[in-house]
Copies of this chain bind each other. A is one copy, B any other.
Amino acid sequence: MKDPVAPDGADHRTRVGRERRERTEARILESAMQVFAEKGPDAPLIDDFVRAAGIARGTFYNYYRSTGELLEAVSHILEDDLIASIVLELETITDPLVRLATGLRLWMAKAESDPAWCSFIVRVRRRAGAVERELGRDLHDAMKSGQVKAPSLALARDLAVGTILEAMGRMTEERVPRSYSGDVVAVILRGLGVDARSIRALLARPLAPARRPTRALAR
């Protein structure tokens, strides 16, 4: 005799199991971000993640085979999150210099509003591929239009990325004044040969508020 409740019960069990799996994975990812932020990309052992997430060692291996795989997963989540924070906001802007300045401002706003992300990026130096590609394209276009003057695209990127990473490092270690993020963008633009009046105008443009912290944390 068929049990009419069984299919529903199975569905229910499947759904509960899936939800539990997702919660556990989110917990691993969330605590892993902090472990990597503290210990760097290479030093942590699986036990560090197991302890931080409060799970059994065997459970860890149901989700990830190695610390390297976990680092990849955390990096991907954070990259998706950054794409949502920055790349999508830029979609409607066409002027290369406005795109560039807005992208830099959004990056700094993200660093300010999400200290866990900021520490992870600073410590792991696993960089934000999609966002840096976008930055490279905007720099290239702004150089082509003559709005940015730099000896080479490579150097323009080193100036922008290097200054931002160093400023993010400072933000993980000490309180910076409220004006810091804007000032960082201003000195980068000055280094890129943008004149003072344009810099003031660019920084005066309204900026979409920073999105909430990473997806893993928001689950």
Taken residue by residue from 171 to 213, chain A's Cβ proximity to chain B (1 for < 8 Å, 0 otherwise) reads as: 0000011011001101110111100000000000000000000
Flag if B42 contacts A187 (CB, 8 Å).
no
Contacts of A186 in B (CB 8 A): 151
Tell yes or no: A167 within 8 A of B by CB: yes
Is A128 located at the chain interface by the 8 A CB criterion? no
Cα–Cα, bound, A166→B184 (Å) = 16
Q: Mark A144-167, 1 if CB is under 8 A from B, else 0.
A: 000000111011111101111111
**A43 beta carbon closer than 8 Å to chain B:** yes
Q: Which of A159, A177, A193 has the most CB of B within 10 A?
A: A159
Complex CA distance for A187 and B152, rounded to whole angstroms: 11
Closest B residue by C-beta to A189: B191
Q: Does A136 contact B (CB under 8 A)?
A: no
Q: Which residue of the partner chain, among B39, B150, B158, B163, contacts A170 with CB atoms under 8 Å?
A: B158
**Interchain CA distance A11-B42 in the complex, whole Å:** 47
Count of identical protomers in the assembly: 2
> Is there an interface contact between A154 and B179, defined as CB atoms closer than 8 Å?
no
Given the known interface contacts A159-B163, A162-B167, A166-B161, the answer about A187 and B40 at a Cβ–Cβ threshold of 8 Å is: no
Per a CB cutoff under 8 Å, which of B43, B154, B159, B193 touches A43? B43
Beta-carbon nearest neighbor of A158 in chain B: B166
In this complex, the member of A43, A155, A158, A186 whose beta carbon has the largest number of chain B beta carbons within 10 angstroms is: A158
The chain B residue with its CB closest to the CB of A166 is B162
Partner of A42, one of B42, B156, B176: B42
A149 to chain B, nearest CB (A): 9
Chain B residues near A177: list those with CB within 8 A. 152
The CA-CA distance from A42 to B45 in the complex, in Å, is 12
Whether B40 contacts A183 by the Cβ 8 Å rule is no
Known: A161-B166, A165-B162. A155 touches B187 (CB 8 A): yes
**Complex A-B, nearest 6 residue pairs according to Cβ-Cβ distance, in ascending order:** A191-B191, A162-B166, A42-B43, A162-B162, A151-B183, A158-B166
List 6 additional A-B contacts (Cβ < 8 Å) besides A161-B166, A163-B191. A152-B183, A159-B188, A162-B163, A163-B163, A165-B166, A191-B191
